[in-house]
């Protein structure tokens, strides 16, 4: 998919979303609840993605942005 096609697709999705928002005040309660559930799901996925990425970056880079040296793994030996 070319970048122009992708941008047109994103624009079409945005227009549908705005149209849905404009019709929302006149919608039935079931439709309002379902739309809210979908928005809540999207927001949850975005927040969890941001949290996962920030935790990954924190564990790899530390607080100062420099990579931490790999920790040595200690071998566990069975008791005699």
pLDDT in tens, 13-46: 989 988 988 888 888 999 889 989 998 999 999 9
Q: What is the pTM of this model?
A: 0.54
Region of 62 on the Ramachandran plot (φ > 0 left; ψ -120 to 50 alpha; else beta):
left
Q: State yes or no: pLDDT of 1 exceeds 90.
A: no
Q: Which residues contact 60 (CB under 8 A, 6 or more apart)?
A: 67, 68
């Amino acid at each position: 998919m070319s970048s122009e096609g992708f941008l047109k697709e994103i624009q079409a999705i945005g227009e549908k979303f705005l149209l849905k928002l404009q019709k929302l005040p006149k919608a039935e309660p079931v439709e309002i609840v379902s739309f809210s559930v979908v928005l809540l799901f999207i927001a949850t996925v975005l927040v969890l993605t941001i949290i996962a990425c920030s935790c990954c970056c924190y564990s790899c880079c530390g607080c100062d942005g420099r990579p931490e040296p790999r920790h040595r793994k200690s071998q566990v030996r069975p008791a005699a």
